[in-house]
Amino acid sequence: MRYESPVQLLLGTVPRIAFALSLFPVLAVAKIPQTCGPGVILKLSAPWSSQGGLLLLEVRSRKPLAEVTAEWNSKSVPFWQASAVARPASSRVAGVDVRRTILGVDLEKPPGTYPLLVHIQTASGKPESCTLQIPVRAGRFATERLHVEKEFVEPSSEQIKRANQERDKLRAIFDQVTPQKLWDGDFRIPLDGVTTGGNFGKRRVLNGQPGSPHSGVDFPSPTGTPIHAAQRGRVALAQELFFSGNTVIVDHGLGIYTFYGHLSEIDVKAGDEVESGQVLGKVGATGRVTGPHLHWGLTVERARVNPLQLVKLLGSKSHSDRGQ
Ligand SMILES: [Zn+2]
């Protein structure tokens, strides 16, 4: 069975609500449950997303699920098993099977409405397929005009070759989806005592030439400030790169990677298993920079998204994993 989501109808008929909700962070809006076959509910953390945004999809079944798959952005997205019963004893539902996945919207994905296909097979029932139509809005990104050393705007042929090789290496890393969920709990901002950062999605004009959009969040901080792993994972890369200087990438599993750039010093090596909060290195000003800061990036199934959204999204959801 296949049907269209009422999310689209709701958004089309209640623009004032949509406008009001847009004043709040995307992840704080109401959850709209859908059904997908008998006893199966789909919940999205928000009824739409925007460029560089994240959505959390939850599949909650009264019966054990044999298989759950979903397709988003022409890719199969991996689910993880949430705690089987996450409710107060008074409303306990026996045999609830809960699966979750994170959907990333690349910061350059054209605005529009995109299908999310969900396929569900319970242990005893027939297979069900459902389609949710998810609106993706334009991000509100500023334009940043920067002046940097000429070599970074007009690199030599050797530098172009190096940068292209490094770009291909990064793509190959982000293409790999480690099937295990290596993280456990909330994601944290990598610097102690810091609650927010800026510049995500900024369109850059470098020395008068349009460059690529800024794919991470910048945290200005003194050189030498310790940088902590946002969550548990495995170091996928720890080396100097042309644009991002000394760089560490942590694989958290299920297609989720965090990226730490411009370090003055790297304290881990590729292949290391790191705990949440473990020091990866120190803030610096290596690579293409105008001053010392941490550039923190996040990719989800190769979509470049805002890492601060993951802190919010899993901060509340991991709490519900523990029994709310
Ligand atoms: Zn940056």
In sign, the C-alpha dihedral spanning 39, 120, 311, 104 is negative
Ligand 1 ion: nearby residues, β-carbon < 5 Å? 216, 218, 295
213 alpha carbon – ligand 1 mean position (Å): 10
Contact 42, 33 (CB under 8 A): yes
What residue numbers bound the domain in which 37 lies? 6-139
Tell me what pLDDT residue 102 has.
96
246 and 295 within one domain: yes
Strand partners, 250: 235, 258
CATH number assigned to the domain comprising residue 119: 2.60.40.1930
Tell me what pLDDT residue 85 has.
52
159 and 62 within one domain: no
| Residue 79 burial (CB count, 10 A) | 21
271 alpha carbon – ligand 1 mean position (Å): 25
Residue ending a domain, among 139, 156, 183, is: 139
Q: How confident is the model at residue 318 (pLDDT cuts 50, 70, 90)?
A: very low
90 alpha carbon – ligand 1 mean position (Å): 48
123 alpha carbon – ligand 1 mean position (Å): 47
CATH number assigned to the domain comprising residue 186: 2.70.70.10
162 and 118 within one domain: no
Q: Is 317 within a domain?
A: no
Average pLDDT over residues 294-312: 96
250 and 130 within one domain: no
246 and 159 within one domain: yes
Residue ending a domain, among 139, 161, 180, is: 139
pLDDT tens, 57-80? 999 998 888 899 999 999 999 999
Whether 11 shows a pLDDT value over 90: the answer reads no
106 alpha carbon – ligand 1 mean position (Å): 16
Q: Is 322 within a domain?
A: no
255 and 122 within one domain: no
295 alpha carbon – ligand 1 mean position (Å): 4
Percent of the chain with pLDDT over 90: 63
φ and ψ at 206, to 5 degrees?
-100, 115
**179 three-class SS:** coil
Q: How far apart are CA 200 and CA 97, in angstroms?
A: 36
Q: Is 319 within a domain?
A: no
193 alpha carbon – ligand 1 mean position (Å): 19
Report which of residues 119 and 152 the model is more confident about.
Answer: 119
293 alpha carbon – ligand 1 mean position (Å): 8
Q: How far apart are CA 255 and CA 257, in angstroms?
A: 7
256 and 134 within one domain: no
189 alpha carbon – ligand 1 mean position (Å): 15
Q: Is 315 within a domain?
A: no
222 alpha carbon – ligand 1 mean position (Å): 15
Report which of residues 210 and 252 the model is more confident about.
Answer: 252
217 alpha carbon – ligand 1 mean position (Å): 6
Whether 103 shows a pLDDT value over 60: the answer reads yes
Strand partners, 57: 44, 101
Contact 244, 266 (CB under 8 A): no
Whether 204 shows a pLDDT value over 90: the answer reads no
pLDDT tens, 259-302? 999 999 999 999 999 999 999 999 999 998 889 999 999 999 99
- At 161, list the tokens: 């070759």
Q: How far apart are CA 117 and CA 74, in angstroms?
A: 10
Q: Is 303 within a domain?
A: yes
219 alpha carbon – ligand 1 mean position (Å): 8
Mean of the per-residue pLDDT values for the chain?
Answer: 84
Tell me the HSE value of 175 on the side-chain side, using a 13 A CA sphere: 6
202 and 229 within one domain: yes
Tell me what pLDDT residue 149 has.
73
- At 191, list the tokens: 């610097």
Report which of residues 103 and 89 the model is more confident about.
Answer: 103
Q: How do the residues of the chain divide into helix, strand and coil, expressed in percent and rounded to 5?
A: 20, 40, 45
Tell me what pLDDT residue 152 has.
65
154 alpha carbon – ligand 1 mean position (Å): 19
Tell me what pLDDT residue 20 has.
39
Q: Is 316 within a domain?
A: no
Percent of the chain with pLDDT over 70: 82
Domain count, the chain: 2
120 and 158 within one domain: no
Q: Is 268 within a domain?
A: yes
260 alpha carbon – ligand 1 mean position (Å): 9
261 alpha carbon – ligand 1 mean position (Å): 8
**70 three-class SS:** strand
State if pTM tops 0.85: no
209 alpha carbon – ligand 1 mean position (Å): 17
Residue ending a domain, among 139, 165, 199, is: 139
Q: Is 262 within a domain?
A: yes
How buried is residue 159: exposed, middle or buried, by Cβ count under 10 Å (0-12/13-18/19+)?
Answer: middle
| Residue 75 burial (CB count, 10 A) | 15
Nearest by Cα to 307 from 236, 234, 230: 230
263 alpha carbon – ligand 1 mean position (Å): 12
Tell me what pLDDT residue 123 has.
79
77 alpha carbon – ligand 1 mean position (Å): 27
Tell me what pLDDT residue 288 has.
84
290 alpha carbon – ligand 1 mean position (Å): 10
Tell me what pLDDT residue 62 has.
86
152 and 117 within one domain: no
